[in-house]
Amino acid sequence: MPSTLQAAITDTAPSFWLIADQLNARNETERLDYIRSGFPPGWVKVLRNAFHLSNSQLEALLATSLSTLERRQRQQRPLDIVGSERLDRVAALATHAAELFEDQNTARRWMVASNRALNGQTPIALCETEIGARQARRVLSALQHGGVV
C-alpha cells in the first residue's frame, strides 16, 4: 500500500476526497485486492461525515448493521467485501462527479440529492448495486456531453 494511502488510513480525520482519489488512482486489480482485504473501519466515519448520512442510510449503503460497524471500529477489523465494494463504488462515482462539476461540494450535494433522472433516488443510494451505480454514471456522462437526462 503506498504511503499516501496509508497516511489517509492512519490520519485521525482523513478526507473522503483524499481516500477517493487514492482509490481511483489504483488499477482494477489493485482495487479488487484492496476490496477483498477489506477497507479500514475508520473509513465508515469518513464516508458518513462527508455525505451527512443517517444511521439507516449508512446501514443500507454498506449492507451492515450499525452495531456491526461500531464493533469493527472498536476491534479495528476491516469492512467486509460487500461494504468495501460499495464504498469503492461511492468513491468512484463521487470522484467522477467532482471532476465533472469541478467542485467537491457540488459533487457531494449531487450525490445525496434525489434525482429525477434516477427515478427520484439519490446517486449515493444507487451505489448499493453495480447496476445502480452504472445508472448514476450514465446521468453524469449525459451531463458531461450535454445530453438529455
Note the pLDDT of residue 3.
Answer: 43
Cα separations in angstroms, 76 against 59, 109, 124:
18, 30, 25
- Note the pLDDT tens digit of each residue in 40-60: 999 999 999 999 999 999 999
Residue 146 banded pLDDT, cuts 50, 70, 90: confident
Q: Domain map of the chain by residue range?
A: 3-144
- Note the pLDDT tens digit of each residue in 123-145: 999 999 999 999 999 999 999 98
Note the pLDDT of residue 135.
Answer: 97
Which residue is it, cell 490520519?
A: 11
- Note the pLDDT tens digit of each residue in 14-40: 599 999 999 999 999 999 999 999 999
| Whether 107 contacts 101, CB under 8 Å | yes
Q: Which of 8, 38, 35, 36 is nearest to 22 (CA)?
A: 8
d(CA 44, CA 49): 9
Alpha-carbon radius of gyration of the chain: 15
- Note the pLDDT tens digit of each residue in 55-112: 999 999 999 999 999 999 999 999 999 999 999 999 999 999 999 999 999 999 999 9
Note the pLDDT of residue 37.
Answer: 97
| Residue-wise DSSP of 2-27 | -HHHHHHHHSSS--HHHHHHHHHTS-
